[in-house]
Amino acid sequence: MHKTASKLADGRELVYYDREPGAARDARDERPLEPAVSFSEIRLDPVLGDWVTVAAHRQQRTYHPPAGECPLCPSRDGRLSEIPAADYEVAVFENRFPSLALGSAEHVAAHEGLLHTVRPAAGRCEVVCFTSDHDASFADLDEAKARLVLDAWTDRTAELSALPGVRQVYCFENRGEEIGVTLGHPHGQIYAFPFITPRTAKMIVRAEEHRARTGRNLFEDLLAAERGSPERLVLRGEHWVAFVPFAARWPYEVHLYPKRRVADLTALDEAERAEFPGLYLDLLRRFDALFPAAPGAAPNRTPYIAAWHQAPAEGGGELALHLELFTIRRAPGKLKYLAGVESGLDAFVTDVSPEGAAARLRDAATPGR
């Protein structure tokens, strides 16, 4: 991997990732942009103890632009975008409309109250462009390009974890308008949080309770149990295993774990990195094959969220790195909406049995199989 860092016109960082050195990465951002100012803040929910981010400026972010005005495509033919180069392999830049920004501390005053606690949302949000091809998808990448994305995620995890005040780094991809994506170009995001997020905090507590009760690691025991439950296994490699969890929340949900427990992406060894792209691409293509397109229609692209769960920089030693991939589509033309019990109580009701979902994913016909 070859890395080239530069700056956009308003001072935000842009980093190109290439498989080999030599690509021209010296194009300047010629747009007349003013320096970005963030008034993002985090407020503590006094009832649940969760931090909620307030980022009102994001109402002005780019929303479903025409393909010819995509801000994630390369700058070509006089059209200037967020990426000054005329082409790229993988590009990562600071979000122009971030939920979290280190500069928030300059504009938001902290307040510690019994019921009203406010702090600056002093973190960082980055956009990861997987390819310069606007019409592609992650599933369309070859293994070498998918490996480059993995290397970029790893590098960003190391860089962002070292920033002052960052507690947790979260790499993820939203795909599909049904999920809420507002830019059609294939991309993901990375959030560097100034707090440990609620779901991660809950996992830490459960892992600590399991350690106290059994003397063992929760995630190692979980992986051993799922590897012994073939009815929920989807894919198995030499170094990774993918399965539908026993208590899956979503209609089709797969967790991908390295067999060796590690805390985050930076701890993966070369053998694990080399095997990951093929298995991950296989999973994504199986998701697309779940709901075949009608004859003559464009190929189906199942909406999904792909989420890397990593241990926080401090206080998450029991956690195991894993990726969770799930879709809100439960049947052709039907979505799983988070209605009264899910949104109101965080009590999920699933429409597809985990064992049935695993069987469908194992049988899903993917190109080249």
The pTM of this model reads 0.95
39-77 pLDDT, tens digit per residue, is: 899 999 999 999 999 998 787 777 678 878 999 999 998
**Contact (CB, 8 A) for 233 and 358:** yes
Nearest to 97 by CA among 157, 36, 153: 36
Q: Which of the residues in the chain have pLDDT under 50?
A: 368-369
273-320 pLDDT, tens digit per residue, is: 999 999 999 999 999 999 987 777 777 899 999 999 999 988 888 999
- Report the share of the chain in percent with pLDDT over 90: 85
Structure tokens at 291: 């709901």
Structure tokens at 98: 């971030």
Locate the DSSP E strands across 46-197: 51-54, 90-94, 118-120, 124-129, 168-175, 187-193
How high is the pLDDT of residue 64?
Answer: 74
Q: Is residue 187 among the annotated active site residues?
A: yes
| Catalytic, out of 2, 57, 116, 187 | 187
Q: How far apart are alpha carbons 87 and 252 in whole angstroms?
A: 35
With a CB cutoff of 8 Å and minimum separation 6, the contacts of 171 are 128, 153, 156, 157, 188, 189, 190, 265, 307, 308, 310
Which residue matches tokens 């938001």?
Answer: 108
Q: Hey, is 265 helix, strand or coil?
A: helix
Structure tokens at 251: 């209609």
How high is the pLDDT of residue 298?
Answer: 73
How high is the pLDDT of residue 366?
Answer: 62
Q: What letter does residue 83 receive in the DSSP assignment?
A: B
Domains of the chain are 2-195 (3.30.428.10), 199-363 (3.30.428.10)
